[in-house]
Structure 1
Amino acid sequence: MLDWITSTINSLGYLGIALLMFVENIFPPVPSEIIMPLAGFTVTQGKLSVVYVILAGIVGSVLGALPWYYAGKQLGEDRLKNLADKYGKWLTLSGTDIDKSKQWFDKHGGIAVFFCRLVPGVRTLISVPAGIDKMHLVPFLLYSTLGTALWVGLLTYAGLLLGQNYKLVEKFLGPASVVVLVALIVAFGIWVVRRKKKQQFQEM
């Protein structure tokens, strides 16, 4: 994969960076943790401008978030609530829970989008609830762009600092991504267990 990323950047330049970051949002296994540091390293060789590298990364990443956003929007709240009422029993999830999550997203949606765009592993997925909640496109793009700009800028700067050792970024961020995902899974598991206990207590 590294050879493919390197070849794309070397042959297509800024367009290649934008395309790679677009694909990274559609297929998360393509890592931005390698794409942008490598682009930053390429800047040190005098082949690209750091400003345009960052802009290309932002544009590609934000455009890549849109398909997930529209997928959530097309699915819609009512359909999701119906699915939750019909199939969500094993997760103790109901349409009422969907209503509560919608109220939470209505209150914190923009901030959630901003911060989640900085978290490896969930930065792509945050577009789905934003779409389901029918968050207006302009604020979604604004918060996505701000969060993405910070993320892309940090990764590019890391590539500039590390030079040929840019792959160390993925080495350190890889475990961090795993920790974040495990923490989310554990938190979700605790929530499910507590929900089941609460339901059992109410049925007694």
Structure 2
Amino acid sequence: MRELFDTVLDRLLTLPGWAVYAAVGGLAAVENVFPPVPADVAVGLGAFLSGHGTVLATMVFVVTWVANVTSATAVYVAGRTLGRSFFTGRLGRRLLRPRHLETIERLYEGYGSWGIFFSRFIPAARAVVPPFAGIANLSAPRTIIPLAAASAIWYGSLTVLVASAAGQIEDVVRLVSQLNWAVLAVGLIAIAVVVLLWRRHRHSQGRNSPGKGR
């Protein structure tokens, strides 16, 4: 990971302030389309450069958050308008069978906003959440509000931690890595709790429904 940080930092150091903002925002936006893009690395280094007078930490956060939420919203809209027709077509049915699509819809309907919120903290799932929320026809408020809140918490925490505690590039590497692992653990635990509560609720509804116990 250190080599990646050094490479990105070398590029950012050659750029004027406005170009650093553009690069960080661009990577944060592309992350929703191509997950391997090192958006966290760019944001962490952008916050690191704020301590050297190149950019402002507040602007790094604002640019990152706006770019990430805008991109995720666009992917959600694409999933809602184009995704269903694609996956119900011949090629789409081969990639995702109808019963799997129905399962995804039930999951989004059951877990709703909380599932989206916590899933956005899991690196591997972060880019998958918005398009499938659209494909599952989840409403815009139930999708975008938790998505934007999770993005604000994640990038805000990353920016504040690096800007206030990172004196050397090694500190940036350590903080980004530790924050990723910590948030991943919390996100997985929270998702497990949501799933457990939802299943208990469904089980309780099933026992209390008319006709049961006769």
Common fold: TM-score over 0.5: yes
Q: Contact 2:117–2:147 (CA<8 Å) still a contact in 1? A: yes
Contact 1:113 1:140 in 2 (8 A): yes
Q: Deviations over 1:24-50 (max 9, x none)?
A: 333222212211211211222233333
> Secondary structure at 1:46's aligned position in 2?
coil
Alignment of 1:184-203 (within 5 A): none
Instruction: Quote how far apart the aligned CAs of 1:56 are.
Output: 1.2
After superposition, residues 30-49 of structure 1 pair within 5 angstroms as 30-49=37-56
Q: 2:158 aligns with which of 128, 152, 155?
A: 155
SS at structure 1 position matched to 2:107? helix
Q: Kindly provide the amino acid, as one letter, of the partner of residue 147 in structure 2.
A: S
Residue 171 of structure 1: how far off its partner (Å): 4.6
Change (3 A) 1:86 1:94: closer
SS state of the match for residue 58, structure 1? helix
Assess, with a 3 A threshold, how the Cα gap between structure 1 residues 40 and 107 changes in structure 2: closer, same or farther: same
Shift of 1:94: 4.3
Task: Show the counterpart of 1:168.
Answer: 174
Q: How does 1:57-76 map to 2 (within 5 A)?
A: 57-76=64-83
In angstroms, what is the RMSD of aligned CA positions? 3.2
Q: Which residue of 2 aligns with 1:107?
A: 110
Task: Give the distance between the partners of 1:134 and 1:9, measured in 2 at CA.
Answer: 42
Mean alpha-carbon deviation: is it higher for 96-105 or for 32-41? 96-105
Residue 131 (1) aligns with residue 138 (2): no
Distance 1:82 1:60, change over 3 A: same
What one-letter code is carried by the residue in structure 1 that aligns with 2:166? L
SS in 2 for 1:134: coil
Q: Partner residue of 2:36?
A: 29
Deviation at 1:173, TM superposition (A): 6.2
Distance, in Å, in 1 between the alignment partners of 2:41 and 2:16 is 12
The AA in structure 2 aligned to 1:45 is: H
CA distance in 1, matches of 2:125, 2:81: 20
Equivalence for 1:202: none
Retained in 2: the 8 A contact 1:109–1:130? no
Cα deviation for residue 55 of structure 1 reads 1.3
* Structure 1 residues 120-151: Cα deviation after superposition (integer angstroms, max 9, x where no partner): 12211111211101222333221111000111
Q: Which amino acid aligns with 1:168?
A: R
Does the 8 A contact of 1:117 with 1:144 survive in 2?
A: yes
Distance across 1 between alignment mates of 2:75 and 2:12? 23
Give the equivalent residue in structure 1 for 2:206.
none
Q: Secondary structure at the match of 1:26?
A: coil
Q: How many residues align?
A: 175
Deviation digits for residues 70-92 of structure 1 (CA, Å, limit 9, x no counterpart): 3322344465256599536xxxx
**CA distance in 2 between partners of 1:26 and 1:13 (Å):** 21
Q: Once structures 1 and 2 are overlaid, which stretch shifts more, 20-29 or 149-158?
A: 20-29
Q: Residues 156 and 78 (structure 1 numbering): CA distance in 2 closer, same or farther, change over 3 Å?
A: same
Identity of aligned residues (%): 23
Q: 1:28 to 1:78 in 2, by over 3 A?
A: closer
